[in-house]
Structure 1
Amino acid sequence: MARRGKTAARQALKICAAALAAYCTASWPARADWRDDIGTFRIGIVAEPGGGNTVPGLARLTDAYANALGMKVEFVVARDYAALIEAQASGRVQYAIYSALAYATASERCGCVEPLVAPVDADGAVGIRSILVTRDGRLPDLAAIASHRIAIAPAENVGGALLPLAALSAEGVKIAQDSPFLARAASATAAETMLSGGEADALFGWEPADAEGRSTRSEGTVARLEAVGIPEASLRVLWTSGLLRYGPHAVRSDLDPEAKRRLTVFLTNLKSQTPDVYDLLEATHSGGFGPAAQKDYAMAVAIVRQETAGQE
């Protein structure tokens, strides 16, 4: 009898505990949705030069993002990429549209951002890579570079100066900006003229490439040289760098996964479903958006690190 009494008591305690748990759960407020936590989703963007604080089609873009996320959206127009980076690093904006080097700078600055998507060209190119091109065999190979005259674009030119020097450095070939064999041109076009006119034996240029690293050759240095009359057969590419992906749309890493999913679906379908909105968001690359990952910006990070080291 005593044993049965203890068993009944334990069962009664279990029933009471379950009832109490159910009551407490019902009494607790529902867990706040990620939209409630954010309040207003803020998107940072840099205005075009001379655009002030205005962005074409801003109302249409705001509505499109608001519908995709199911919440209030606000665009924040930054004066430059430095201001945009600071705004996202500090959490004042959850989402930012960057150039490749600006994204790499943000990543190095706080480690708190991640790319969602990046634009693609109509021919499938997802970025550019640097090339070393010679004419009529004037430069036999990369190893002979120091004994020849190499045309190079201005120091701030990404594809024709920053990218090749950073990529070669990563491969163990150290070339300083002021190396005596580099013939610094006033512009990328001037550097091409030096090669075509015989003033240089080779040229650091660029070409578009797809996600597998294949050259699309729809534009770039070789295409430009051929356009001024240099026969394709006389041009030879001796070296190519890794891919520098086009600049991404990036979010803070601590953004809720559901928000990231919604944004990725919205952006990757934007070109096919709402092409006019896509054109407002991306005026340069007409092939739509494709998923992007941190590894896609390894070359951009290499450039930023080399530039930072050069300033120390």
Structure 2
Amino acid sequence: MSHQSCFRDLFRTAAAVAVFLGLFSASARADWQDDIGTFRIGVVAEPGAGNSVPGLSVLTKAYSMALGMKVEFLVAPDYATLIEAQTAGRVEYAIYSALAYAAAAERCDCIEPLAAPTDSDGAIGFRSILVTRDGKVPSLQAMGSHRIAVGAPGSIAGWLLPLAELASQLPSVPGEGQILEHAPSASAAETMLIEGKVDAVFGWSPSGEDNLEALTAGTVARLREAGVAEGSLQVVWKSGLLRYGPHAVMKTLDPEAKRRLGVFLTNLKQQTPETYDLLEPRHSGGFVAVKHSDYTVAAKLLGRISRNGDEGENDKPEP
């Protein structure tokens, strides 16, 4: 047999194998799509929006193209309903706040986070911080002899997160005239510091990887804007990072579906910014991949809320 004939036979064999593998791969992809039938995505409606979501038809088409299959959205009135739907297997994919994801993961070890949004300044979440002025509160240990402004009982950064992480160091919940002064809002707490009515305030700071602080927002930035000299402000303490809420899928979802969704989300900001803005109107920096361990602080915070019966802002990912 000539060398030319050998090469022809080898080429034909390789081509036949390639065709077989391609058909096998296509069949495997079709299997998971056929098994699911319709891919169901759960979201929570904005307050007062009923069961409508802005741009729902655009989002449905975008997810359908990414997965190569029919997609439907379930619009839930609240996170409790959404958690019930996903843990019961009625939706394959859900968009959560950090606390809602922690609650869902605690209820059922059947979901995993896929991706979460970031801010344009690099922030991936926020921390609670204790801010003092002119060094009046030099350390946490010195808190007992100073007046501290804290947020309303439902404030995450201003009350619940410090309570969760500093339970052994914070004074007990105060009454009138004691060490801690509850303020009705973050701005009211900041005003108390500005006017000298307190020596420190629990606030918040957007944060990125490696504790990198984003200075375009947060308590320190707001105090600067109010006229307080930056050099007079000191951050006495920072909590762990509370990540922005994730998009989570069922662990049993086919790996190819997870891969497609991950590629879709992490490239969406660059490829289709208009669709990204519909999907994620709060955080404009794009999606990044996340894992369950990124929500350790959220789980700790949820545990504190559950033990105390506090009504935390479970429906909001913001401080």
| Alpha-carbon separation, structure 1, partners of 2:195 and 2:28 | 73
TM-score when normalising by structure 2:
0.85
Q: 2:142 aligns with which of 141, 144, 167?
A: 144
Report the CA distance shift for 1:101/1:31 in structure 2 as closer, same or farther (over 3 A). closer
What does residue 132 of structure 1 align with? 130
Superposition pairs for residues 1-312 of structure 1, below 5 Å?
Answer: 33-169=31-167, 172-173=168-169, 175-178=171-174, 180-311=178-309
**1:4 maps to which residue?**
none
Larger radius of gyration: 1
Q: Secondary structure at the match of 1:33?
A: helix
Deviation at 1:35, TM superposition (A): 1.4
Where do 5+ consecutive residues of structure 1 fail to align? 1-28
Rounded to whole Å, the distance in 1 between the matches of 2:34 and 2:309 is 43
| Alpha-carbon contact 2:55-2:278 (below 8 Å) kept | yes
> Residues of 1 paired with 2:28 and 2:188: CA distance?
65
Deviation, 1:200, is 0.7
CA distance in 2 between partners of 1:32 and 1:286 (Å): 34
Secondary structure in 2 aligned to 1:124? coil
Alpha-carbon shift at residue 30 of structure 1 (Å): 8.6
CA distance change for structure 1 residues 174 and 142 in 2, over 3 Å: closer, same or farther? closer
Kindly tell me: are residues 32 and 227 of structure 1, through their superposed partners in 2, closer, same or farther at Cα, counting changes over 3 Å? closer
Q: Spell out structure 1 runs of 4+ moving beyond 6 A.
A: 29-32
The SS at the match of 1:269 is: helix
Are 2:144 and 2:171, in contact at CA under 8 Å, matched by a contact in 1? Answer: no
Q: CA deviation at 1:140?
A: 1.7
> Are the counterparts in 2 of residues 165 and 175 from structure 1 also a CA contact under 8 Å?
no
Q: What letter matches 2:111 in structure 1?
A: V
For residue 210 of structure 2, give the secondary structure of its aligned residue in structure 1.
coil
Alignment correspondent of 1:17: none
Distance 1:96 1:283 in 2: 16
Hey, what's the Cα distance between the residues in 1 that align with 2:179 and 2:87?
40
Unpaired stretches in structure 2, ≥5 consecutive residues: 1-26, 311-319
Aligned residue identity for 1:108: E
**Aligned CA distance change for structure 1 residues 295 and 31 (closer, same or farther; 3 Å):** closer
Letter matched to residue 58 of structure 2: R
Offset at 1:311? 3.0
Alignment check: 8 A CA contact 2:115 2:288 kept: yes
1:240-278 alpha-carbon deviations (Å, 9 max, x no partner): 111000011111111111111110000000000111110
Q: Note the C-alpha offset of 1:296.
A: 1.0
The code of the aligned residue for 1:236 comes to Q
Q: Aligned with 1:300: secondary structure? A: helix
Q: CA deviation at 1:111?
A: 2.0
Native 8 Å contact 2:60 2:72 kept in 1: yes
8 Å CA contact retained: 1:113, 1:252: yes
Tell me how far apart the structure 2 counterparts of residues 263 and 129 of structure 1 sit (CA, whole Å).
Answer: 29
1:83, CA displacement in angstroms? 0.5
* Aligned CA distance change for structure 1 residues 187 and 295 (closer, same or farther; 3 Å): same
TM-score where L is the length of structure 1: 0.87
Question: Given the superposition, is the C-alpha separation of residues 46 and 193 from structure 1 closer, same or farther in structure 2, using an over 3 Å criterion?
Answer: same
Aligned identity (percent) is: 61
Any idea what the Cα deviations from partners look like across 1:179-202, whole Å, max 9, x if unmatched?
742110011111111111111111
Paired residues in the alignment total 282
